[in-house]
Amino acid sequence: MMLRSVFLFFVALVGFSFPNTSEAKLPKVEKGQPMPSDLFVELAKLVNPAVVNISTTQQVRMRRQFGPTGDPFFDLFQQFMGPQMQQPIQPAQSLGTGFIIREDGLILTNNHVIAQADIIQVQLSENDDQLYDAKVVGRDGRTDVALIKINAKKKLPVAILGTSSTLEVGEWVAAFGNPFGHGHTMTKGIISAKGREIDELNRFPFLQTDASINPGNSGGPLVNTAGEVIGVNTAVDARAQGIGFAIPIDDVKSILESLEKFGHIKRGYLGIYLTNVNPSSAQSLGLPSTKGALITQVEPGGPADKAGLKPYDFVLEVNGKEVKSSNDLVRSVMDIPVGGQAKMKINRNGKDQTLMIAVGSHPEDTKLADASPKRQEKTSASELGFKVADMSGSLIKEYNLPRLRKPRPVVVEVIAGSTAAQAGLAPGDVILDVNKKAVYSAKDVVRHFKKKQLNILRVLRQDQVFLAYLEYK
């Protein structure tokens, strides 16, 4: 089982207004009616004028290598591919897509298209060589949505924002963008699935489509047969063909006003990490069921910590609403404004209890001290197939580890095919506890392992906390 954990942020979502452009769309193809033979021809004529090519220039910096150098499209998939070697690159242009949502030059795109950009330029069409300098109006990494603006000194064609709430699997859609720099390209397909939750990439569940999406399509519109935008092209699963993802437009619309007004999403903050559980892990942890969200980490000094929440607390309800999964918890609470109260029913050590949590403001910066020990010890858990070492300055630098308040042991070697590898451990993982006992050295890890039972490890990987299960026979 893949256990996914997500650092829990709560977002105050608000509406966003757009000019009335309803006259500039195609007649909707009703169910059971034949599709016009020139439908996609007319879609191209309608949508392409509002689609723009976005190019960015970045200064020299260290970047992870995956896929074509300098293309932001691939940055999203580093977590699928595991740790990669970092290599220096020269200043380079990156390509992406956006689409105009207001006549004055307001453009919607993905955050990862413009992330780290020093210069952002927009080309309106293939026949127009002029590049317009763009400024960032607002951006948000967790939702991967960004607003940029150009001053074209004229009214620009606008894409019509539809709704994603009424979409059905099997509906025809078309994706627009600039794949591999080939400007203004349209591909067609269907909605393959809805509600694809890939927490490593995006807070909102994705739409899945088999319309061809390639590097450079990021930030482009996914439209229905009426020419209305129903999603923002964002990513593909690089392990397969015909599996592309788009952010539902209803979710995007809910945050646009905040992005334009404040430049970011005004966030609440609880300071917890979450994961889901399966029947086996629920039994091992003594949980009443698999329905709920397991807290794997509580940030010291955060709202959850002040309210008394602890790792291994199992959240059952929020403000009287049942929690079925970690993402269900996010959706249940994200409407609570900063300063509001979250009434949480939890199960702790087999007993239910209720805690009140005041939703706080998200900290702008968390300063963590470097608590590297002076001496590094390495211990082998050879029967399980991994080696662990005391945290040190060299390991922090080698694995780009977060600087923690207290040193924790670090996995430095995992044997392919071993029990540790099958449990998902990888070099650079930081072990927080073993069988609910905190560990601060390599020796602690081995000491707390128990033979002839399933051992539970709480592991920090970059900014994600998850549980690993190792059978020690």
Q: Tokens 């539970």 label which residue?
A: 456
Residue 195 CA neighbour count, 13 Å, CB half: 7
Contacts of 344 (CB under 8 A, 6+ apart): 307, 309, 315, 317, 318, 354, 355, 356, 357
Q: What is the DSSP letter of 275?
A: E
Q: Which of 218, 254, 332, 392 is catalytic?
A: 218
Other Cβ atoms less than 10 A from the Cβ of 61: the count is: 11
Q: Which of 71, 75, 140, 144 is catalytic?
A: 144
- Tell me the residue type at 33: Q
Q: Report d(CA 255, CA 69) in Å as an integer.
A: 31
Q: Which of 55, 71, 112, 281 is catalytic?
A: 112
From first CA to last CA, the distance across the chain in angstroms is 20
Give 78-96 as a DSSP string. Answer: HHHH----EEEE-SEEEEE
| 112 tagged catalytic | yes
Q: Is 401 exposed, middle or buried (0-12, 13-18, 19+ CB in 10 A)?
A: buried
Please calculate the CA angle 423-428-431 and round it to the nearest 5 degrees: 60
Q: What amino acid positions are annotated as catalytic residues?
A: 112, 144, 218
